[in-house]
Structure 1
Amino acid sequence: MDDPIFDRSDGVWLNEPEQWTALAGGLHVVTDRATDFWQETHYGFHRDNGHFLGFPTTDAFTAEMRVQGDFQALYDQAGIMVRIDAQHWVKAGIEFSDGRAMLASVLTDGRSDWATAPYEHDPRDFWVRATVANGTLRLQVSHDGRVWPLMRLSPFPRASCYRVGPMACTPERAGLQVAFSMFRLTAPLGRGLHDLA
C-alpha cells in the first residue's frame, strides 16, 4: 500500500469537480460553487456535494498527504476525508472561519460536529494524517511532514473497508485551488499517542 496513490486507478470521485488535473504524484483541484459536506447540526440542512476522491482501504490504515491552498473566503476548506457513506465520515484539514484559516475537523455519525482551533503555522501548506484502527480515529497535522502533533482522537464507526483521500469544498463560492501531493496509505502506524513522529 506504499505505491504512489494518485497513480492508482481505483480512486473514485464523489462529486467530481469541473476542473481537476492529475499531476505526477499529485492532484490539482479547483472547487465548484456551493460545495460542502455537512449533516443537520445547528443549520438543519444536509450537504453531500463536496469534492472527494476516495481510495479503498482495509479495516485499519494510516493515510497522510500534503495540502496546499490559499484559503480566503468563509468556509473555504481542504484536507483529508475518511468515509463509509453519507452518514458516516470525517473530514479534517484547514477551514477559513472567523476571519482566519483554522484547523478544523468534522466528524459525522448521523449528525455532524465541528471542532476548530488556531493553526500556528502557514495554513497554505500543511500535512494531515488519519489513522483508523479498532474503532478509533486519530487525526494529526504537521507543518513539515516530520513532526505530527495530535489534532483529534475519537471513536469512529467500524467497517470492513473505508474510502480515504483528498477533500475540498467552498460553501460560499467557487474557485479555491488546491494541490494535493505526497499521499501515502499504509498499515496503521501503531505509535504511542504522544509520539510526534
Structure 2
Amino acid sequence: MTAPHALSPAQALPRLQDLIVLDVRTPGEYATGHLPGALNIPLDHLSRALPAIRHAAGHGDILVVCASGARSDTARTTLAEHGVDTATLTGGTGAWAAAGHDLHRPEQASRLPWGMERQVRLTAGTLVLAGLGLGPIHPALRLVSAAVAGGLAFSAVTDSCGMAAVLARLPHNRPRRADIDAALAALLDRQHRR
C-alpha cells in the first residue's frame, strides 16, 4: 500500500469503494456492525486466508479493521511479515461509528451475539465475584480475583487481551466454515473485478 499504514475514518471514507476491507473480529462482533463491504476474516483464521489476501493485495489496497485498532494492527504486522502491505483503520469500527459513518448489520439477525469487550467484562466480573464470594470458604480462591485483576492490568499495559483470545475460541465466537469460504470467494471475486 502506498498510503500510510493507518487511515482515519475521514481518510478511509472517500476510498472505501476502492479498498478491500478485511474485518478481523469474531463473527459475533462482525454481525453487530461492520464497514460496508467488509469481509470477515477473524484474526485466528488469517493464515488460512493468506494466499487469497496476498493475491488480492496485488489488485488493490487492503484496509484491516477491528473494534478499536489493536487486533487490526496485529493482523497488519502479521500480513507484513508475509509480504502483504496493508493499512489499519485508526480507532476501528468504534471510531468509524463515532464519526457518524454507517455500519452494516445483517437483517436476519434477531438476537446478535455480544461483542468481545462485553464478553470479557462479563467473564472478568464473574471470576472476580466468584473469587471473592468463595474466599471465605477457602482463602486461596481469592487468588482468582487477584489473577483476573493482574490480567486486566497486563492487558491495559500491553494493549492485548488473553481472555479475549480464549473467549474467541468458544463455539459461539467461531466462524462457520461456510462463512470463511464465502469471504475467501468474495475476496477472490473482488480482485478479479479490478
Structure with higher Rg: it is 2
Taking CA–CA contacts closer than 8 Å with sequence separation of 6 or more, which of the two structures ends up with the larger relative contact order?
A: 1
Larger helix share, 1 or 2: 2
Shared fold (TM-score, shorter chain, > 0.5)? no
Provide the TM-score with structure 1 as the length reference. 0.24
Larger strand share, 1 or 2: 1
